[in-house]
């Protein structure tokens, strides 16, 4: 004979049944729906418990070192367990004796519950608890003497909400300390009786009941407790353990956001490693920092968990659990550059597990090391462009490039940009005229300068822009020195030729009239003369016709 104790909200029912499979100590409620199997047990219906778990009912006297009031009025059956004494109430309180925090699962005060599970499989653990703050909101759960990672750090972010349910693992799912829902579970190996366990993480924890739910919907429905006793299902899919992790690494320079440093300046940076997956652990994780030790960098300090292997820094992390922002692992390194130039540092992380997102497995810290003794310092100046140019006339564009730095400028190029209407009519042999004018020099020594004269002829009037860009490679062959100058030049029309005092005559045989060199006065005079000549010719013609009119008709007919 077995005694089943099914406790509903506000009532208690005893069921007696004959079975050889269920032990008489079992006090639980098993429910089966189309989408779930649920096993429900009251916190006070334990088979064994640590003495620090105190049964609290309406008549329970006040306890020493219990700052919370009695909350049994809204607990199911008006009874619950509380872990006392509650020594650490606020974050500022000491951890002192007796122990108030057990971060390692299974090390804190326990309570055990022999439960009958109708089927094997994963059962998501939901706990109804009363949290008053951040120091009484954590619990561990396990099965058959084992506390797996999937049952560690059950988290409640429900302070001020009274009795509330949670199935969230601290930091699980990448959503911060409160965790994602349904991330606490136990794996039941077979149908039958198994011992479910709770283990304290923080003192002051108040627990009312436990509900373990197995999904029967093939992950198409999400079933969770609501209120004190009901279960509600809704359409949805849980992202959960799938055997795929997501290791990630980033490099962060400390104490400076600049990408440049001096040759005698050390760089301090952290390699930040985390498993960005919210549910799966990553095994055999190894971080490698490719620093080119002895070639590009000298090692100053390194994290004690890392070793030097050849030119690299290697850190073995072992198994990395799913981690939110609080689960990041930091490895600090200090390096000193051996020479100037672009000295990138690359970190990569590998794991023996499947990594679902390989794109975040490496990170590069791009750094430029500057040695002033290896730098040129160019200046570029347009020194003579005249205040104005004249259209269709050649002018001189003069510019000077000087190396004012302590080192030779290598592979010097000077580019002059002119508008399309300006014709380059003369240039030195070192300069090539294409769309722009580009002058090239093998090097400019420290203090050396070069002056260039270009012959330019603008084709129209107006304001034009002349741009000058000088560039060179520094001695370390990895940094570029540049200088720029620009001027605005005014282009005017050509001067008008003066008109001489020669008599005005008829146009040349070509019939062309040069109107481009005469002023308005000379044009008027020439037109007046032309009209006068036309009048003289007209009068002479009239005299000829009048003389002909007095001749005889026969004479006229002859003509």
**145-179: per-residue pLDDT in tens?**
999 988 999 999 998 899 999 999 988 766 778 88
Does residue 240 surpass a pLDDT of 80? no
Alpha helix ranges (H) inside 253-308:
none
Q: 548: helix, coil or strand?
A: helix
* Residue 559 pLDDT greater than 80, yes or no: no
Specify the pLDDT at position 271. 96
Nearest to 335 by CA among 270, 262, 267: 267
pLDDT for the residue 278: 67
pLDDT above 70: percentage of residues in the chain: 80
Q: State whether residue 150 is helix, strand or coil.
A: helix
Give mean pLDDT, residues 300-314. Answer: 96
Pair of tokens at residue 303: 């994290």
Q: Which two tokens stand for residue 529?
A: 């003369």
**% the chain with pLDDT above 90:** 60
Q: Is the pLDDT of residue 550 over 50?
A: no
Average pLDDT over residues 432-450: 94
Residue 420 has pLDDT above 60, yes or no: yes
DSSP state of 264: T
If pLDDT is split at 50, 70 and 90, which confidence band does 306 have? very high
Each residue of 335-368: pLDDT tens digit?
A: 999 988 889 999 999 999 999 889 999 999 999 9
- Residue 319 makes CB contacts below 8 A (sequence gap 6+) with 281, 282, 283, 284, 285
What distance in Å separates the CA atoms of residue 44 and residue 48, rounded to the nearest whole number? 10
Could you read off the pLDDT of 377-413 as tens digits, one per residue?
Answer: 999 999 866 567 999 999 999 999 999 988 899 999 9
> Is the separation of the CB atoms in 382 and 398 below 8 Å?
yes
Is a pLDDT exceeding 60 seen at residue 3? no
**Beta-sheet pairing, 206-215 with 221-226:** unpaired
Q: What's the pLDDT band for 281 if we cut at 50, 70, 90?
A: confident
Q: What is the mean pLDDT of the chain?
A: 83
pLDDT at 87 over 90: no
Nearest to 89 by CA among 56, 131, 58, 51: 131
Q: Is pLDDT at 200 greater than 50 in this prediction?
A: yes
| Whether the predicted pLDDT of 17 surpasses 80 | no
Q: What is the pLDDT of residues 244-277, one digit of tens each?
A: 889 999 999 998 888 999 989 999 999 999 988 7
Instruction: Give the mean pLDDT of 33-53.
Output: 96
pTM metric for this prediction: 0.47
How is residue 5 written in tokens? 């104790």
**The pLDDT of residue 444:** 94
Residue 344: CB partners within 8 Å, gap ≥ 6?
364, 365, 366, 367
Q: Judge whether residue 477 has pLDDT over 70.
A: no
Burial of 379 by CB count in 10 Å (0-12 exposed, 13-18 middle, 19+ buried)? middle
- Lowest mean per-residue pLDDT among 12-16, 29-33, 89-93, 132-136: 12-16
Question: What average pLDDT does the segment 298-311 reach?
Answer: 95
Torsion angle defined by CA atoms of residues 89, 95, 97 and 102, in that order, rounded to the nearest 10 degrees: 90
For the chain, what's the residue count?
559
In the predicted model, is pLDDT for residue 122 greater than 90? Answer: yes
pLDDT of residue 277: 78
In this structure, of 184-198, 266-280, 285-299, 458-472, the range with the lowest mean pLDDT score is 266-280
Cα distance between residue 332 and residue 269, in whole Å? 6
At residue 20 the predicted structure's pLDDT band, cuts being 50, 70 and 90, is: very low
pLDDT, residue 267, reads: 95
Rg (CA), the chain: 47
Average pLDDT over residues 118-133: 95
Structure tokens that stand for 132 in this block: 């008053």
């Amino acid at each position: 004979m077995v005694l089943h104790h099914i406790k509903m909200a506000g009532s208690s029912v005893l069921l007696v049944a004959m079975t050889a499979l269920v032990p008489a100590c079992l006090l639980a409620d098993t429910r089966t729906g189309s989408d779930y199997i649920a096993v429900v047990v009251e916190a006070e219906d334990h088979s064994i418990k640590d003495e620090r778990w105190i049964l609290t009912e309406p008549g329970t006297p006040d306890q020493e070192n219990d700052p919370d009031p009695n909350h049994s009025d809204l607990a199911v059956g008006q009874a619950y367990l509380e872990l006392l004494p509650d020594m650490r109430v606020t974050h500022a309180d000491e951890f002192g004796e007796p122990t108030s925090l057990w971060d390692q699962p299974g090390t804190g005060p326990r309570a055990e519950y022999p439960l009958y599970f109708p089927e094997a499989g994963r059962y998501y653990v939901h706990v109804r608890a009363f949290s008053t703050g951040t120091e009484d909101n954590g619990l561990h759960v396990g099965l058959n003497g084992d506390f797996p990672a999937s049952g560690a750090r059950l988290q409640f972010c429900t302070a001020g909400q009274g009795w509330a349910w949670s199935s969230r693992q601290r930091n699980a799912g990448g959503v911060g300390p409160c965790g994602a829902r349904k991330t606490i579970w136990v794996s039941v190996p077979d149908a039958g009786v198994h011992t479910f366990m709770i283990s304290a993480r923080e003192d002051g924890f108040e627990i009312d009941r436990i509900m373990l739910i197995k999904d029967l919907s093939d992950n198409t429905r999400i079933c969770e407790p609501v209120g004190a006793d009901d279960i509600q299902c809704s359409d949805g899919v849980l992202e959960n353990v799938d055997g795929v992790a997501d290791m990630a690494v980033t490099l962060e320079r400390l104490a400076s956001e600049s990408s440049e440093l001096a040759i005698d300046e050390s760089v301090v940076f952290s390699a930040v490693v985390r498993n960005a997956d919210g549910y799966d652990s990553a095994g055999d994780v190894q971080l490698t920092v490719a620093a080119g030790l002895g070639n590009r960098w000298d090692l100053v300090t390194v994290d004690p968990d890392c070793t030097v292997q050849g030119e690299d820094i290697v850190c073995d992390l072992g198994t990395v659990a799913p981690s939110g922002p609080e689960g990041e692992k930091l490895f600090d390194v200090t390096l000193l550059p051996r020479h100037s130039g672009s000295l990138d540092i690359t970190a990569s992380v590998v794991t023996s597990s499947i990594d679902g997102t390989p794109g975040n497995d490496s990170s590069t810290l791009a750094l430029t090391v500057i040695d002033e003794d290896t730098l040129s310092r160019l200046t570029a100046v347009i020194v003579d462009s005249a205040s104005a140019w004249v259209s269709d006339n050649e002018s001189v564009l003069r510019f000077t490039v000087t190396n004012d730095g302590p080192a030779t400028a290598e592979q010097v190029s000077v580019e002059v940009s002119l508008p399309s209407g300006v014709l380059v009519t003369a240039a030195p042999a070192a300069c090539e005229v294409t769309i722009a004018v580009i002058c090239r020099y093998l090097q400019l020594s420290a203090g050396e300068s070069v002056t260039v004269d270009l012959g330019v002829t603008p084709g129209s009037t107006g304001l034009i822009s002349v741009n000058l860009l000088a560039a060179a490679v520094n001695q370390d062959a990895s940094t570029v020195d540049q200088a720029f100058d620009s001027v605005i030049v005014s282009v005017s029309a050509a001067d008008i030729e003066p008109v001489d005092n020669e008599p005005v005559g008829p146009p040349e045989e070509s019939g062309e009239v040069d109107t481009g060199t005469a002023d308005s006065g000379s044009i008027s005079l020439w037109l007046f003369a032309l009209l006068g000549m036309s009048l003289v010719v007209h009068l002479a013609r009239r005299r000829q016709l009048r003389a002909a009119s007095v001749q005889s008709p026969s004479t006229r007919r002859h003509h």
